[in-house]
Amino acid sequence: MSMQHNNFDSLGLKVRRAQAALEHARGVGEVDGVRVVIDANNRLVQASIPGAQALLAAYQAALQDLQSHLDEAMREIHADPRFDAISTFVHANEARLEVERAQPLDDPGRPRPTGVETAW
């Protein structure tokens, strides 16, 4: 049983290393002097072109415009008290997971994962 537990610990370490690598992953593309950088979520994080600041400002304006449409689409759900209860539960667990991730992997005081949900 101990050997199986070590195998899962090893897999958990690999998953955490992969998560860290994904958080820092960037894609870079350059064509005809135009250079863009995107993050692992395909978000534009940098652009190098004449007028790049205007492009990024327009992108931010589009995000804000989109947010108002998303807010309206979700209005009915957000008004339901059950949604608020579920959101509170999810955010509480996210905070716990962030604290666990911030601890060094070899910290003996670090809580051991209790299920697959903490390995992702």
Q: Cα dihedral sign for 18, 23, 24, 30?
A: positive
pTM over 0.75: no
Average pLDDT, the chain: 83
Q: What is the pLDDT of residues 62-114, one digit of tens each?
A: 999 999 999 999 999 888 988 888 888 888 888 788 888 887 766 666 556 55
CA contacts within 13 A on the Cβ side of 51: 4
Higher pLDDT, 5 or 30: 30
CA distances to 65, 81, 83, 85, 87 from 78, in Å = 19, 8, 6, 10, 10
Map residue 30 onto helix, strand or coil: strand
* pLDDT for the residue 52: 75
